Structure formats: C-alpha cells, structure tokens
C-alpha cells in the first residue's frame, strides 16, 4: 500500500476516535438534560422536534464543506435518535407491518434507535397512544396521487390525541426478487395501491406476468423470500429485510408520489416559529356558510394549506371540515381568527399546533 494512503488512513482513524469520544461526551450532557426534564413539574415529551430542527439548521448554515450539507440531517437524526434512547425508551406505534412506507416515515422522523410497534389498523395506533403504551403514533393522512385517508380523519372526531408533527415520505416502488433477471419472474405480488401506481411500467415491461394482490408491500416481499420465480413491488427496506435484490428501481408511474403522515401524541410539541395548526369544525347548512367560515382566515392574513370535508355521520347532510393553517395557535392572528370562526360554527376542535415539515 502506498505510504501516502497509509498516512491518510491513520489520520482518519484518529479523527474517528475523536468523533467517538465527542459523541460520548455529548451523550452525557443529553442524559443530564433527561434527568432535569424528569424532575420538572412541566414534563413533556423527551423528543423535542423544535430543538432538533434548530440544531440541524444551525449546523447546515455553518457547514463550509466538503462534507455535503444534505447529509447533515440524516447523520444528526441518528445521533439524536441514539441520544433519546439514553434518556428513555421512545415507543412509536404505527400502521404495520414492518418495511412499509409508514415504517419508513417513522424512521425518517425518529431514527433507528426508537422502539417501533407495528399494529394492525389506524384505530389501533390511536389506541396505543391513548392508553399510554406508546409515546407516539404515526398514521397516513394523504397521498399526493390518491388523496386523503378518510379513516384517519374520522378517528380525530372522538380522539383527544394531538397532532405532534408531520412527515412527508417519498413513495418509491422497486421490483424485488431472488431472481437474477426480469425474464425469470413468473408472478408479481404487491398491495393493490402499489400495483396501480406502477401499472404503466408493468404493462410495458412485464405485460404477461400475473399480478397477485396482498395485504401490504411488506407481505409481498415476504412471499418472495423463498420463491425465486416471484417478484414483489415494495420498498428498498422490504428488500433488505427479506434478502431480495432490486431487479428494477423506481418503477412507479408518477415520480412525484409522496404520502403525508401525522405524528400523534398526548402532549403538544414546543412552538418553533415554523408551525402549522390543524382544526376540525362543522358549520350550519346555509347559503354562504363556507364563505363565512373562510373569511376570517383571509382577513387575518392566514394561509390555508389544506381544507377537506367529511360527512359528520351524526346528521344527514352535515359536514365536518378539516383545515390546516400556517401558524401556531398561540399566535395572536391565529387566535383571533379562530375566535371569530368559533361563533359561526356548530363545533370547533383544535387538533394541534406542530412543526411544519421542512
């Protein structure tokens, strides 16, 4: 080995040793903060998304390279995830099974060191958090191509849980198999939504291969683990979990396919200055009711990022509206707008103020 390479590698080893020492020093400070939080009368969640965003933003501003700026966020997500695990276990319930896009959204939000609990339904996610068996829950709320997840909206009607955060997860489908070539694939498994989102690619490349619908993309990957003639449309994580190769990556028809997930908690997050507020409300059935509802938002200079309607299920032709507002409920303009709207509503419920996805 050339002497110059050997010298550089020794220097890298020295730096890695120093990084490890500093990580342990950082961890000791994190543990002390955890002790102080537990002693406080106003104990909140150990996970503080505002503080995490502040750390990452500061480091990205200071970075002069050559270490890539976009790599700072995932590196520090894992550092902070490991640090949180030292303060106490972070149980996160999610709509399972493992290796689905909901699981990927959990990892994006909480890192690899959290304890993830897959459950069978969106209702079960709410139950786990409501009963205190999980610190957080993660549920899908809408997809950029397929629209809103109505069951999640319906659960908020009777639940006292708060929205603690949001995650935007890119939905990228891969064709996974034990086979070495596309020509060896004789059957394809996947969830109906994933099959629909890859329809054009399948018709162009594997038009005569039969498609089998299963309960999840993860289940599809599991079925291919011992069948070299089968393939699955699933995430890269599912392929890693079941030892499958990527025969073809990113086969989805729409490359701008994202799913938005909500993080649930019994406790509110700290205000960050880049927040979003979600509310649920019902208005009287009369001419101009929706206009009267929206007018206070405009008059107070508030931007609505989403409005969705659902039948109330309590009275025919009565609707609930779910509205996302830029801003925090403690901001004066948000507070005033909601006060005006409340007098015009049959029902108003604040679902939470939380950091907007960045």
Catalytically active residues, by annotation = 259, 261
Q: Provide the token pair at 317.
A: 């032709």
Please answer whether residues 165 and 354 qualify as being in contact, where contact means their C-beta atoms are separated by less than 8 angstroms: yes
φ/ψ of residue 96, rounded to 5: -80, -175
**Is the Cα torsion angle 77, 83, 86, 90 positive or negative in sign?**
negative
Closest to 98 measured CA to CA, from 106, 90, 86, 87: 106
Q: How many residues in the chain? A: 358
Helix (H, G, I), strand (E, B) or coil at 289: helix
Q: Provide the token pair at 348.
A: 């108003």
Angstrom distance (rounded) from CA 89 to CA 85: 5
Closest to 119 measured CA to CA, from 145, 104, 139, 143: 139
Angstrom distance (rounded) from CA 50 to CA 62: 18
Q: Parallel, antiparallel, or unpaired for β 275-283 and 319-326?
A: antiparallel
Angstrom distance (rounded) from CA 279 to CA 351: 5
């Amino acid at each position: 080995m050339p002497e110059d390479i050997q010298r550089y590698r020794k220097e890298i080893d020295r730096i890695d040793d120093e990084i490890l020492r500093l990580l342990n020093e950082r961890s000791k400070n994190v543990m002390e903060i955890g002790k102080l939080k537990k002693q406080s009368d106003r104990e909140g969640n150990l996970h503080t998304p505002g503080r995490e965003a502040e750390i990452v933003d500061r480091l990205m501003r200071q970075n002069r390279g050559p270490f890539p700026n976009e790599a700072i966020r995932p590196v520090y997500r894992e550092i902070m995830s490991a640090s949180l695990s030292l303060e106490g276990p972070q149980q996160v319930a999610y709509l399972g099974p493992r290796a689905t896009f909901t699981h990927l959204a959990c990892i994006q939000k909480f890192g690899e060191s959290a304890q993830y609990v897959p459950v069978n339904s969106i209702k079960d996610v709410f139950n786990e958090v409501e009963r205190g068996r999980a610190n957080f829950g993660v549920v899908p709320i809408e997809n950029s191509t397929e629209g809103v997840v109505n069951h999640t909206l319906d659960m908020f009607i009777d639940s006292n849980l708060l929205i603690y955060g949001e995650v935007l997860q890119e939905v990228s489908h891969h064709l996974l198999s034990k086979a070495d070539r596309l020509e060896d694939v004789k059957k394809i498994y996947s969830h109906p939504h994933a099959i629909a989102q890859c329809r054009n690619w399948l018709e162009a490349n594997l038009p005569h291969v039969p498609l089998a619908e299963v309960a999840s993309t993860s289940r599809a990957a599991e079925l291919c683990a011992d069948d070299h003639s089968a393939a699955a449309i699933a995430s890269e994580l599912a392929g890693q979990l079941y030892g499958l190769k990527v025969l073809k990556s990113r086969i989805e028809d729409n490359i701008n396919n994202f799913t938005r997930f909500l993080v649930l908690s019994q406790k509110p997050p700290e205000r960050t200055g880049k927040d979003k507020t979600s509310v649920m409300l019902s208005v009287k059935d009369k001419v101009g009711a929706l206009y009267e509802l929206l007018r206070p938002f405009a008059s107070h200079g508030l931007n609505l990022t989403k409005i969705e309607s659902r039948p109330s299920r309590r009275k025919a032709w009565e609707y609930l509206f779910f509205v996302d507002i830029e801003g925090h409920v403690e901001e004066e303009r948000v507070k005033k707008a909601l006060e005006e709207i409340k007098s015009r509503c049959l029902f108003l419920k604040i679902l939470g103020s939380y950091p907007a996805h960045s």
